[in-house]
Structure 1
Amino acid sequence: MISSLISEILFGFTGLISIINPIAIAFVFLDRTDSLTDAERAALAKRVSLNAFFVLLVVFFVGTPILHFFGISMEALRIGGGLAVAVSAWNMLNAPERQPNEAAVKPVDPDNAMSKAFFPLTVPLTTGPGTMATAIALNANRSHKLSEFVMSSIASVTISILVMLAVWFTYNHAATLGRYLGKEGTKVALRVSAFLLLCIGVQIILTGLAEFLTPIASGRAGG
């Protein structure tokens, strides 16, 4: 039973963390918090990681019932969420580069930055539609048997904690990564990250469209 639990935790964590890709998103986070001090950025990273933890918990335990309550299909979640991710990434790709003294003339506004901790820094940039769909799929066949439900719940909470720690660590050290790469290296990393995020958004949309169109195509073929 313990080995099965560990296997479930490792499977869920690796699946989610590969989709979230916190190292790549850390450069997006660094760009969005360019006007903040290190202390303010650290506080924001903590807030975003905590938000991600609670989002995952909600999705793990009540994600499927919520979708059913509002009549939202998994396909709609993927298409709509993927579109939001793709648009955000496209805006980042086409954003003009800051002038060398631009950050200096902009007032630091940590309150405004904190107001963006949930949207868009947590949703959809960190725990986006791909993450939500994966979390829902991981628990789609959760048993109602008490012992199995408890083990599955433990796995869900543990996975959420591990993801929270990974997000906090990478976002909290985003500035260190930026200093290591240098100004030009950070610009390149940001553009690459934005492009990868755009590809992820498009892939999520394509997956949703494929899942929506496949039954229709199969029905016509059968008819």
Structure 2
Amino acid sequence: MLILFLKAVILIPVTLLPILNPLGIAPVFASLLGNVSRKVEQRIARQVAINCWFMLVGAVFIGSHVLTFFGISLPIVRVGGGLLVAVSGWRMLSDNSQDNSIRTQVAKTYDEDLSDDEIKARSFYPLSFPLTVGPGTIAASITLGANTPVRLVDWVISIGSAALGAALTAAAVYLCYGNAQKLVGMLGRLGTMVVLRLSAFILLCIGIQIFWSGLAALLAEAGISGVAP
């Protein structure tokens, strides 16, 4: 039983971290965050990690039930979410104003402070969703929680392992985002711009891939041959 618990704990971060890619998204996080102090960066990164934990646990345990209640299928989630991610990636890829933001950010940060309400407001959209926990992550989390055990003991173990696995995933997000400005400083202005553009392009491609996988699944359900998800 302990081995099964540990396997379940490891399964969630191993499955979700490559999709989340917090290290690659960290420069994008720093760019969207703007010129803030180290203290504010840590607070927002911590709140983003907390938001991510709640979204992951919610997607694992109630995601499939919510979709069933509203009559929404996973392919529809992929299509809508893929469009959202692709549009976000395209905006970041074509927004030249971020270059000026990076120039200022690398040169100087401001010692401003934010209230708890402002931290929570700034941390959710678009930092937590869809930048960090996007539709691909949500779909994967729903898939992981699709087969919830019925027996009480197994259900309790499933809850504990999923919560701990999501906590490890959120901790990785916090470590990467909490040191995002250090990463930007190490890369410098040119390096950060390059990483930002590449990350935006990858985000665009991920959105298109998520959209296509959902569309292919819908076409396959409709009986159109020659299309595989």
TM-score (norm 2): 0.88
2:211 counterpart of 1:205: yes
Map 1:41-190 → 2, pairs under 5 A: 41-96=41-96, 97-98=99-100, 100=103, 110=114, 114-190=120-196
> How big is the shift at 1:8?
2.0
In 2, the alpha carbon distance for the partners of 1:201 and 1:108 equals 34
The answer to whether the 8 Å contact 1:12/1:159 transfers is yes
In 2, the alpha carbon distance for the partners of 1:46 and 1:139 equals 25
The answer to whether the 8 Å contact 1:36/1:110 transfers is no
Deviations 1:37-77 (A, max 9, x none): 22111111111111101111111111111111122111111
Structure 1's unaligned 5+ residue stretches are none
Paired residue for 1:32? 32
In 2, the alpha carbon distance for the partners of 1:22 and 1:183 equals 20
TM-score (norm 1): 0.90
Deviations 1:85-121 (A, max 9, x none): 11111000001121756997x9968466652311111
The amino acid that maps onto 2:133 is T
The answer to whether the 8 Å contact 1:47/1:117 transfers is yes
> How big is the shift at 1:190?
0.7
Paired residue for 1:2? 2
In 2, the alpha carbon distance for the partners of 1:75 and 1:81 equals 10
In 2, the alpha carbon distance for the partners of 1:189 and 1:154 equals 37
> How big is the shift at 1:34?
2.1
Distance 1:147-1:191 versus aligned 2 partners, 3 A rule:
same
> How big is the shift at 1:21?
0.4
Partner of 2:71, secondary structure, is coil
